[in-house]
Amino acid sequence: GAVVSQHPSWVICKSGTSVKIECRSLDFQATTMFWYRQFPKQSLMLMATSNEGSKATYEQGVEKDKFLINHASLTLSTLTVTSAHPEDSSFYICSARDETNTQYFGPGTRLTVL
């Protein structure tokens, strides 16, 4: 099946720094990618929808200036958590949709902000 990779798989940073997470579709092109956040023992919360070559669409309550999304190519989307704080600590998961409208998910990135 289709493979989506994420890098890094985990990151620890100091409060106030910025962290970039990469999401790549390895064997298919994805015009649409998604970024989710998952809290312990909860379902996935959609943060934003990223379309190649255009601005991301953010869900209500998600700060677009804090969570910068760039979808520069059909295989790469990045999420940058700017000026991270401890409350941003979470499990971030990206997803890419293929031409059959199936979403494939990356392995996730565990962010810990000290």
Judged by the rule CB under 8 A, the positions of this chain that interact with other proteins are 1-2, 4, 6, 34, 42-44, 46, 49, 91, 93, 95, 100-108, 110
User: Environment class of residue 95 by beta-carbon count within 10 Å: exposed (0-12), middle (13-18) or buried (19+)?
Assistant: buried
CB of 1 to other proteins, least distance (A): 6
CB of 72 to other proteins, least distance (A): 22
Contact assessment for residue 91 and residue 108, using Cβ atoms and an 8 Å cutoff: yes
CB of 107 to other proteins, least distance (A): 4
- Of 4, 12, 32, the residue nearest 108 (C-alpha): 4
CB of 6 to other proteins, least distance (A): 7
Q: Which is nearer to other proteins, 49 or 82 (CB)?
A: 49
Q: Which is nearer to other proteins, 85 or 110 (CB)?
A: 110
Q: Which is nearer to other proteins, 46 or 82 (CB)?
A: 46
Q: Which is nearer to other proteins, 87 or 99 (CB)?
A: 99
Concatenating the DSSP letter of every residue in 1-69 gives: ---EEEE-SEEEE-TT--EEEEEEESSS--SEEEEEEE-TTS-EEEEEEEETTS--EEPTT--TTTEEE
